[in-house]
Chains A and B, each alone.
Chain A
Amino acid sequence: MSKILSSKPWYGPPPPAEVTCGSGKLLSQGAEARIWLLPVPLPTPSPSTSTNTDDTTDGRGHVINYQSDNKNASIDKAMTSSIRTLHVGGGIHVPHIMHFSQLSTHLASTSNSSSSQQHPPSPTVIIVKERFSKKYRHPTLDATLTKNRTKGEARSLIRCLKAGVSCPQVLGIAHWPASATSINNNNTGTTQKTTTSSCLFLEWIEGCTVRQYLEHRSSSTTPSSLNELDDDSSSNTPNTKRHRCNNDCNDDNGDESPIPSKQPDRITTPIDTQTLCVARTIGQLVGKMHAAGIIHGDLTTSNIMLKNPPWAINSDGGSSSSRCGETIDGDDANNNIPLLDWRPQLALIDFGLASSTTSTTTAANNSSNTNKQQHNAEEKAVDLYVLERAFLSSHPESERLVEELLGGYRDYFVSLDGSTDVVVVGKDDAQDVTVTAAASCDIGDKVDDVTATGTSPTTRPSKGKHGHAAKMILNRLEQVRMRGRKRECFG
């Protein structure tokens, strides 16, 4: 990890002391935000909060420096009192983390309450997405933007979670001053404004990105690599591991990784039941998100996580205890035969560019508002187009996967009309997706069968308002394909 830290270009103001105090590890650095992996020391189950907070503050001198303003008393008070929430718009409230030690107690409480869920009972590792301030901006503008964007991302994530789209849980939000210690060390003479970084605390999703999955599959199915099986599999592991670290939750470098370009050109994306099933599930997941009226804005294969990569299951029989990178086992992954009971569990990440529109349900209800409907279709079509481009540009010969994906997308909308067999409102989202995926995979035991069902997602008859909406979006996608993402404009 330290290797990654040094190889990444570093810029922006120093991060909050909390994140850097020995434990936070930089996963990626974007133009606007940094992603940290932060282990959170959970307090022991017995409520001995006072000793715990003492420990954390004593252990790290930075923190004392950091809160060296006159807010000391209030922070102490805040630590002992219950956590307040911050309104992020749309009637959504998010835990407002005033101080680092609050986070651990808060996490402990949430993990206790939601221990029945499939998540591991104690999330000791979390993701911190830190939006740092920009020197070039006017300070007022900068503060507003940083705060509002973090809030907006939290809002989109929570909307997604409410709609049953699987994505990282929002654990909290914070507006922390960037570490005052290092600024003081640099130059005490000049009056340096303390800048605010807004942090979003997110659940750490285990697994790998879909991009990694596809690349791993393609590298393990090429004849050249099969010849030198052992060497290839062993060299694969660090590659994929680093790749994930480069791309995870990344704002801007999503597709921009040096690793795929180094691979020989003849590597093609494998088309088989397993990858088709993954593609279809992606389509359903995106469909679910769009049906809830959320536009992701940056859909790429690097921004979709596969929670249960097949090799993880092969190696230790369950995905829950596996950790990314550590259990990516080349030998097992080279196993080409699709696992019979394996269903992909996906999650969307990086909602930094997300926006929300009216959901298809409400849009379809007031049909007089056709203009707005058109606009929605355009935005969703562009979202799909971005995903399609991401597929085709980073995974050669993956046209079949895109077709399957769009088929899954359309089927999700159609399934919203009337038929109650697939999607039940509420419940566990991952379950829903896997059920439909299972259905599709059963059909597609032979690849040809899947081709027959999935080739023409736009031409199949659709009924009901959701089916109509999907048809509209997919028709719009045709138009977007013709002209590209941007319309041809003057000058």
Chain B
Amino acid sequence: MASDSHAPAAAIRPCTATDPPCPIAPLHNLPIPPPSHFAHLYKPNAINGKTIVLGIEGSANKVGVGVLCYDPISSTYQTLSNPRKTYVSPIGCGFLPKETAWHHQAHIVPLIRAALNEAFPNELNPEQHLSAIAFTLGPGMGGPLKSCAIAARSLSLLWKIPLIAVNHCIAHIEMGRVATQASDPVVLYVSGGNTQVIAYSDGRYRIFGETIDIAVGNCLDRFARVVGLSNDPSPGYNIEVMARKHSMDKPLKFVELPYVVKGMDVSFSGLLTFIEELTRRREFIKDDEERQSENQFTTADLCYSLQETIFAMLIEITERTMAHCGQNSVLIVGGVGCNRRLQDMMAEMVADRGGTLCAMDHRYCIDNGAMIAQAGMFGLQYGSTEMVVKLEDTECRQRYRTDQVEVVWRPKTRGKHA
């Protein structure tokens, strides 16, 4: 549930399906899907044997529809279209469930039309190619989730194709794995609603470390609100821009903030309270020009210090997980994963350990429909009874942990650690 992703405006491309097909062969943890064990579940495309899934995402302030195609001949996954709309709340205000739900309701139908038109241009009945509809079951905000689930249910009844209920976090991970071809990475999932360090073990994505209160994106967003940064394109991105004023010649001041790492877990709420208190102090000034004494600090100083502190916490728990699991590749997913500073710090840590950091990609960093379709596709192809649900079982779950889903498409290894 990447509520407030740090989407640089440039990353949102006008055309949504320019990514090349992703081959799955190099992923040794991702065997080629079994041919027709699950014929009772879905029908591949009658004409060319392709499996095409429509994914609908709307767990936070973004609503997205993606069309994903699996080609059995080349055994590749390709995003055919992936349009998205973001609800941007006014300055000083977060996005509220009710208003976000309205936004999603207003945009979901045009988005589905646009996605199908782009995927199958000049076709009168593009829905006939679809094998299934995947939608976000959770976790996320209730209103937005329900709005999208209703759209998915209606289309499933209308087009008589199965529904796949997808866990949002799993979707991020699977899209990231396919896009970067990382077979078994440690995943740092950082967004507006989630902060988790995840590694696969014995049929499930286990959460090794996580936040014990608010998510990292939430912390950034709320800080942006307090200091009056814009929510467009996202608050986190604006914080990043402020912090980039730091340079060797003109270094920003580092204000010490609470650093709360408890074992493998992190906590941000105390830090947020602390930094909010700082903005009410007399030493806090908006601009550098007003600076009169050494102990004053500006918005940029706070942005810089906040980023340095919370990202160091995230890197630390990721490193602990890496050491614990003996893995040395890292994948960052979720909206905050777009942050350059976080990527740089992670790259530095990973390089020190002799590992690899998987490159960033808007396809899995920011919430979108294609990633839901990707996870849904796996669930469908491997016949996950948990994910291919009946209409009655499509009740949205606002709390839906990553480790609750059985990952049937990955081989069962003997548990490293639970």
Contacts and interface: CB of A to CB of B under 8 A. Distances in A.
Interface string B376-391: 0000000000000000
Interface stretch (B100-108, B121-129, B284-292, B344-352): B344-352
B256 A141 contact: yes
Interface in B228-281: 254, 256, 259, 262-263, 265
A470 B406 CA distance: 37
A261 to B, nearest CB: 7
A251 B212 CA distance: 21
A140 B401 CA distance: 36
A31 B320 contact: yes
A491 B417 CA distance: 23
Interface in A1-55: 9, 11-12, 30-32
A256 B193 contact: no
Interface stretch (B13-21, B41-49, B321-329, B362-370): B321-329
Interface in B192-238: 193-194, 207, 210-212, 215
Given A9-B354, A140-B256, A252-B320, A486 B417 contact: no
B282 interface: no
A198 to B, nearest CB: 16
B308 interface: yes
B98 interface: no
A138 B312 contact: yes
B320 A11 contact: no
Contacts of A92: none
Interface of chain A: mostly helix, strand, loop or mixed: loop
Given A31-B322, A137-B312, A138-B254, A11 B352 contact: yes
B418 interface: yes
A135 B207 contact: no
Contacts of A389: 418
Contacts of B211: 489
Given A9-B354, A136-B349, A140-B256, A31 B418 contact: no
Interface string A428-440: 0000000000000
Interface residues of B, number: 44
B323 A12 contact: no
A144 interface: yes
B254 A298 contact: no
A490 B401 CA distance: 8
A256 B352 contact: no
Contact of B399 (A135, A486, A488): A488
A403 interface: no
B308 A145 contact: no
Contact of B417 (A256, A297, A353): A256
A9 B323 CA distance: 10
Given A137-B312, A141-B312, A253-B323, A491 B354 contact: no
Contacts of B133: none
Interface string B314-358: 011001101111100000000000000000111011001110000
Nearest to A30: B323
Nearest to A488: B399
25 contacts: A9-B354, A12-B352, A31-B316, A31-B319, A31-B323, A136-B349, A137-B345, A138-B309, A140-B254, A141-B256, A141-B259, A141-B312, A253-B323, A256-B326, A353-B262, A353-B263, A486-B207, A486-B265, A489-B399, A490-B193, A491-B1, A491-B139, A491-B194, A491-B215, A491-B399
Interface of B: 1, 139-140, 193-194, 207, 210-212, 215, 254, 256, 259, 262-263, 265, 308-309, 312, 315-316, 319-320, 322-326, 344-346, 348-349, 352-354, 398-399, 401, 414-418
7 closest A-B pairs by CB: A491-B193, A31-B323, A252-B323, A136-B345, A136-B348, A491-B139, A138-B308
